[in-house]
């Protein structure tokens, strides 16, 4: 078992730290936010992530997991340092590595010979070498320190399960002996471990996310076409999915993808392609379809409302970028709600998990404590996030609350026939 430092206790870092402690390693996790560190040290998880509170409690109790403020306090004594800090999207679409650079500079003097620095955050191809250079410039003896790429493939909401039961583990390093040392950390897992060079590992992450985004934009484009030719996209996807080369997964039509990864990673890959002189029109199309898909939902809302949203009260069900998370980053729901308000609608939203600061993100938005209150007097209901609770609402009561029984189901969560039987004018996506 090894001694690990995990720098950054956000979604990725916290999951990595807690899961590595579960695998038997001793983990010191660092964050710059002292309040967050205090909270975590008490066993309180500031994010909504299934299984994480239990793993955190287990790690703290076994003393295999502890939290400190500042990267420099976690690095000494560590055999492996995992970098899990944000790599946000820069103004030109490229990934902004300033947090990574700051951490590398901070930890460099504290690293012992033989330590391996592992890039866990999504970083552009070439970043492993960039981190190597920064460490060397900041005084680390780079002949004695390894740097490897070990991209995460965690979905928010199921990240603990994704970490402990991965489809695969990818480790990239130009020194195979270092990669093998990193791979040993995962010995307890039943998953194929791919050891490759650093650039390929970095590309695997971007290519995987770009491919998944492509599936979503593809199915959204098919859904839009289904509407024009009177086909039902749900039947179409069923018929496609039985072909094992295609499969059923990631072909759910909706308001377009969002979240902290797909929009940012597709933009970064497009930027990288441009830098490399490759015209990646296919991926540009994926991004364009996605942007238009958000707007298409606004068009549907306007049509349902009879041609104008001005003065229409809309009940928005869901604000997070998908169900089972409290994350609002790049949420299609937020985009849609903003646009509805821009067009003069009065939007009252309910989301089971969205933090109250959503009100700062969307000026003019109002919140209701439950879905029925959101619907009271509204002329239109828009289901924007696929929370299971919305599926099981008493729609007879919803209809009674509404001024007009009209429903826009951007997630195809509901049964159109059942809705119509209850007297709703129903609009979904691609059916």
Which residues are marked as active site? 261
Residue 258 near ligand UDX by CB under 6 A = yes
Report the chain's terminal Cα–Cα distance, integer Å.
53
Contact in structure between 390 and 366 (CB atoms under 8 Å):
no
Q: Which residue has the tokens 């209809």?
A: 399
Question: Which two structure tokens, joined as six digits, stand for 378?
Answer: 């509204």
Which of 206, 257, 387, 390 binds ligand UDX (CB under 6 A)? It is: 257
Residue whose CB is nearest to ligand UDX in the complex, by number: 261
The DSSP call for residue 345 is -
| Interior angle at CA 257, CA 252 and CA 166, nearest 5 | 75
x-marked contacts with ligand UDX along 195-214 as a string, rule CB under 6 A: --------------x--x--
Question: Which two structure tokens, joined as six digits, stand for 367?
Answer: 């919140």
Question: Which two structure tokens, joined as six digits, stand for 38?
Answer: 């205090």
Select from 256, 344, 237, 269 the least CA-distant residue to 301: 344
Q: Based on CB atoms, which residue is closest to ligand UDX, 248 or 278?
A: 248
- Rounded to the nearest whole angstrom, what is the least distance from the CB of residue 389 to ligand UDX in the complex? 16
Contact in structure between 120 and 131 (CB atoms under 8 Å):
no
Residue 254 near ligand UDX by CB under 6 A = yes
Which of 93, 250, 359, 376 binds ligand UDX (CB under 6 A)? It is: 250
| Interior angle at CA 210, CA 429 and CA 46, nearest 5 | 80
Residue 401 near ligand UDX by CB under 6 A = no
Residue 112 near ligand UDX by CB under 6 A = no
Cβ neighbour number for residue 282 with a 10 Å cutoff: 9
Residue 218 near ligand UDX by CB under 6 A = no
Enumerate residues 6+ apart whose C-beta is below 8 A from 4: 17, 20, 25, 26, 27, 28, 78, 79, 80, 81, 82, 185
Give the integer Cα–Cα distance in Å for 55 and 40: 12
Question: Where does this chain touch ligand UDX (CB under 6 A) — which range of 49-57, 135-143, 147-155, 167-175?
Answer: 147-155
Q: Based on CB atoms, which residue is closest to ligand UDX, 10 or 259?
A: 259
- Rounded to the nearest whole angstrom, what is the least distance from the CB of residue 122 to ligand UDX in the complex? 7
Residue 326 near ligand UDX by CB under 6 A = no
Residue 289 near ligand UDX by CB under 6 A = no
Query: Under rule CB under 6 A, which residues in 259-278 are in contact with ligand UDX?
Result: 259-262
Residue 155 near ligand UDX by CB under 6 A = yes
Question: Which two structure tokens, joined as six digits, stand for 285?
Answer: 């199309």
- Rounded to the nearest whole angstrom, what is the least distance from the CB of residue 172 to ligand UDX in the complex? 16
Q: Based on CB atoms, which residue is closest to ligand UDX, 128 or 209?
A: 209
Give the footprint of ligand UDX on this chain (CB under 6 A). 152-156, 209, 212, 216, 250-252, 254, 257-262, 321-322
């Amino acid at each position: 078992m090894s001694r690990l430092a995990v720098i950054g206790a956000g979604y990725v870092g916290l999951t990595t730290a807690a899961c590595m402690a579960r695998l038997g390693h001793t983990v010191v996790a660092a964050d710059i936010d002292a309040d967050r560190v205090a909270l975590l040290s008490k066993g309180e998880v500031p994010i909504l992530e299934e299984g994480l509170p239990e793993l955190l409690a287990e790690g703290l109790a076994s003393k295999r997991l502890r939290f400190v403020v500042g990267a420099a306090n976690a690095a000494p004594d560590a055999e492996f340092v995992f970098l899990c800090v944000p790599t946000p999207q820069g103004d030109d679409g490229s990934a902004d590595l300033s947090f990574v650079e700051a951490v590398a500079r901070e930890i460099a003097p504290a690293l012992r010979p033989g330590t391996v620095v592992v890039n866990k955050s999504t970083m552009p191809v070439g970043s492993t070498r960039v981190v190597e250079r920064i460490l060397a410039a900041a005084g680390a003896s780079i002949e004695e320190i390894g740097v490897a790429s070990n991209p995460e493939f965690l979905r928010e909401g199921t990240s603990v399960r994704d970490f402990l039961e991965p489809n695969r583990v990818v480790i990239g390093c130009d020194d195979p002996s270092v990669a093998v040392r990193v791979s040993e950390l995962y010995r307890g897992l039943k998953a194929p471990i791919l050891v490759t060079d650093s650039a390929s590992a970095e590309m695997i992450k971007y290519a995987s996310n770009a491919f998944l985004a492509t599936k979503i934009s593809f199915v959204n484009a098919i859904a839009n076409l289904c509407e024009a030719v009177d086909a039902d996209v749900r039947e179409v996807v069923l018929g496609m999915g039985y072909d094992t080369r295609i499969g059923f997964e990631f072909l759910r039509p909706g308001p377009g993808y969002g979240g902290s990864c797909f929009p940012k990673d597709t933009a970064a890959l497009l930027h990288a392609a441009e830098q490399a002189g490759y015209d990646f029109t296919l991926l540009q199309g994926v991004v364009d379809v996605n942007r238009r898909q958000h707007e298409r939902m606004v068009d549907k809302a306007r049509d349902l409302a009879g041609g104008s949203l001005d003065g229409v009260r809309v009940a928005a069900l869901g604000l997070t970028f998908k169900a089972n998370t409290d994350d609002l980053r790049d949420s299609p729901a937020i985009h849609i709600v903003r646009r509805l308000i821009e067009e003069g609608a009065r939007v009252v939203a309910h989301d089971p998990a969205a933090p109250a600061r959503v009100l700062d993100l969307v000026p003019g938005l109002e919140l209701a404590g439950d879905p029925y209150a959101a619907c009271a007097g509204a002329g239109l209901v828009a289901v924007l996030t696929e929370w299971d609770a919305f599926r099981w609402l008493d729609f007879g009561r919803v209809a009674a609350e509404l001024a007009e029984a009209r429903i826009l189901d951007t997630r195809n969560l509901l049964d159109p026939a059942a809705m119509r039987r209850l007297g709703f004018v129903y609009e979904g996506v691609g059916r």
